[in-house]
Chain A
Amino acid sequence: MLQVNNISCLVGEKEILKGLTLSIKPGEVHAIMGPNGTGKSTLSHLLAGKSGYEATSGEILFEGKNLLEQTIDERAKAGLFLGFQYPVEIPGVSCMNFLKSAVNAVYKSRGKAEMDALEFLKKVRQEAKKLDLDESMLKRSVNQGFSGGEKKRFEVLQMALLEPKLAILDETDSGLDIDSLRNIAEQINLTRSSERSFLIITHYQRLLNHIKPDVIHILNNGRIIASGGFEIAEKLESEGYKAFGINKNGKDD
């Protein structure tokens, strides 16, 4: 589904990713862990198409097509979803209006009929209920006045509505209490399928206890330095990054 081949990326004048390679097959859940500032979020924004993130070498294929040639919305329409680490507050844009515009744009591109207002409302209510999101919040502006946990739940709600093929979840667990974490993990698990893949960026094992990944990668200094099964997360939790030869400053020993 996603093939990242030896990709390097500049943000401003700084090279953040340095020859990163990653392959995700349909239905697989991958997790990326790593110290702060090693390029985890850079990878997510490069995949999503953020302006200012320039791939200097390598290629990225999403379902066999060159992802880097596509605009941000084309990537979303093709089935790529980015759950933001810091969801953006957009005053004035109501959640419902935003969700409807987004869902209709994506549906239209996939040749699906746009949902009528009632049908859409029903679906949103259904998904919001699963996430324990108060319906009244959806009358507010996007992410405005939301707590950290509410913002993350709203991200997962969007993911559920947009039905992506690959969901990149950038620190979706940060700012969540234990119950919210469990609830969100449950919802993510419910959306898992043989055709949907996940790339989960996290600092902690706790999310991975609920969403068992197929592969865990350790990212440091712009490239993947270790990959493996759940034992990697356990080793990291017990021994820290030094077990992977990473010192306090995030530098390779």
Chain B
Amino acid sequence: MIKMSSIINNIKVESNFLSFWKGARSDALQNFKNKGFPSKKNEAWKYTSLQGLSEDLLEPSHSSKQIIQAKKPISSSFFIKVVNGHIDLENSVLPEGLRVFDLEGECKDESSELVMKSLFENSNKDKLQTHIDINTAYCNKVLVAHIPKGKYLEKPIEIHYIHESENEYKSSYTQLYILQEADSHVTLIERFYGDTAKEEKCASHIHNHVVRIQLNKSACLTHYRLQEAPSDNYSIYTAHLEMKDESTYNSFTFCKGAMLSRNEVKVNINGTKVHCNQQGVTLGQYKQHHDSYLPVTHNGPDSYSNQNFRQLLNGNAKGIFYSNVLVPKDSIKTQAHQLNHNLLISDTAQAFTRPELDIFTDEVICSHGATVGNLDVNSLYYLQTRGLSADQAKALMIESFANELIDDVKHEEIKDLIKVSLTKWVEEH
């Protein structure tokens, strides 16, 4: 069990902190002190527990040295490098409107502070999200992007979160804020990777990452997330997305790495004619644990949300898809679709799938579905009769299962990156 007192004692609320952040941090500390990490009694955390984590592991990493080579960013992108949670400004190219905000320093940028404050307060109403509180308590520098009205950012913003293994077991706490004003267009790529100190039976590093996004009228965000964190990492990802009238969000999550990953994306549709499309492929092997929690609330009529996720699970891996789409009263003409297909490659892998729809109004078009299955023996036989070995047939079917979704990725370079990573995964297993 974590000794809260010891953690709290190590966190100082600096006097020069932004006034609102000072309060937020105090509240977060208090909340975390009272509740600790979410328990399995919290439905959103039914399948994943962080409660057994070592107390030492929660302390932030102070090392920002980077030995391993950063992966090559895709062509012509704004590139931001973050090593063990520390933003490496010297090796980053920031677009106009994106700033690094030092929470421990003096406020020199009121605009960024306002953006941050607004997005923070909007997303931090849920007192059950104590895994975010620990981030609020420890995170010192954040990335804040304020994209002006009508701005069409032609180059993607690409952020690499790199984990460099250390002698001590530590955590990284990072935050990203994006406020897109009306009619702005952005492509965001987040990549997570690094090296592994050694084969670990327990976590040696936690990356706790919080993303807060607001899309104003007709703003458009395309978001790619490639999680290939080292196998001794816990990757805790929490995103909060606020969508206004006619805004568009398209995302693709490729989740392959980490010992345990939590992919939580909470979408609040607060407008009409909103388009929210989330897709993703998860690959699990050994004893990996991948948990996707994807609640969507339609707080406005005539909007569209779609979730299509696939999990490929091998070894003793566990994959969780839990989505709850809420269509409250008066949100008429809502279209909401949820689909989750799971392929169990081994007999010992496990998939948990809950595409839930809560509808409190009429005049909606909603669907939800899920499948869990093994590789079809008749298909394998058919492929082998054409000269493919048993392994080749299996690999072709596994890759194809994932590629059915990956083929929807519109950015060709990202698609290629994902496909290469997938092929490597299939070949290794």
Where the two chains meet, the residues of A that have a C-beta atom closer than 8 Å to any C-beta of B are 48-51, 71-73, 75-77, 81-82, 84, 87-88, 90-94, 97-98, 101-102, 105-106, 109, 141-142, 158, 162
Contact = CB atoms under 8 A, between A and B. Distances in A.
B385 A105 contact: no
B339 to A, nearest CB: 13
B377 interface: yes
Interface stretch (B68-76, B206-214, B221-229, B395-403): B395-403
A72 to B, nearest CB: 4
A101 B377 CA distance: 19
B381 A50 contact: yes
Given A76-B386, A90-B383, A92-B401, A98 B396 contact: yes
Given A73-B388, A98-B383, A88 B378 contact: yes
Contacts of B392: 73, 101, 105
Contacts of A105: 386-389, 392
Most buried by B among A87, A92, A98, A142: A92
Contact of B387 (A84, A88, A109): A109
Contacts of A87: 382
A84 B400 contact: no
Contacts of A101: 388, 392, 396
A91 B404 contact: yes
A19 to B, nearest CB: 26
Contacts of B383: 90, 93, 98, 102
B400 A48 contact: no
Given A51-B377, A51-B381, A93 B400 contact: yes
A72 B387 CA distance: 8
6 closest Cβ contacts across the A-B interface?
Answer: A92-B400, A102-B386, A72-B384, A106-B387, A76-B387, A88-B382
A106 B404 CA distance: 26
Contacts of B348: none
B49 interface: no
A83 B376 CA distance: 19
A97 B400 CA distance: 9
A73 B379 contact: no
Given A88-B379, A90-B382, A90-B397, A71 B390 contact: yes
17 contacts: A71-B384, A71-B390, A72-B390, A73-B385, A73-B393, A76-B385, A76-B386, A84-B382, A90-B379, A91-B400, A92-B397, A93-B396, A101-B388, A101-B392, A105-B389, A106-B386, A162-B386
A105 B387 CA distance: 6
Nearest to B404: A92
B382 A92 contact: no
B404 A73 contact: no
A105 B386 CA distance: 8
Contacts of A84: 382, 385
A97 B396 contact: yes
B384 A73 contact: yes
A93 B379 CA distance: 10
Contact of B389 (A73, A82, A90): A73
Interface in B365-423: 376-379, 381-390, 392-393, 396-397, 400-401, 403-404
Contacts of A102: 383, 386-388
B391 to A, nearest CB: 10
A90 B390 contact: no
A73 B381 contact: no
A170 B387 CA distance: 18
Given A51-B377, A105-B392, A158-B386, 5 more contacts: A72-B381, A81-B385, A90-B376, A93-B379, A101-B392
Nearest to B400: A92
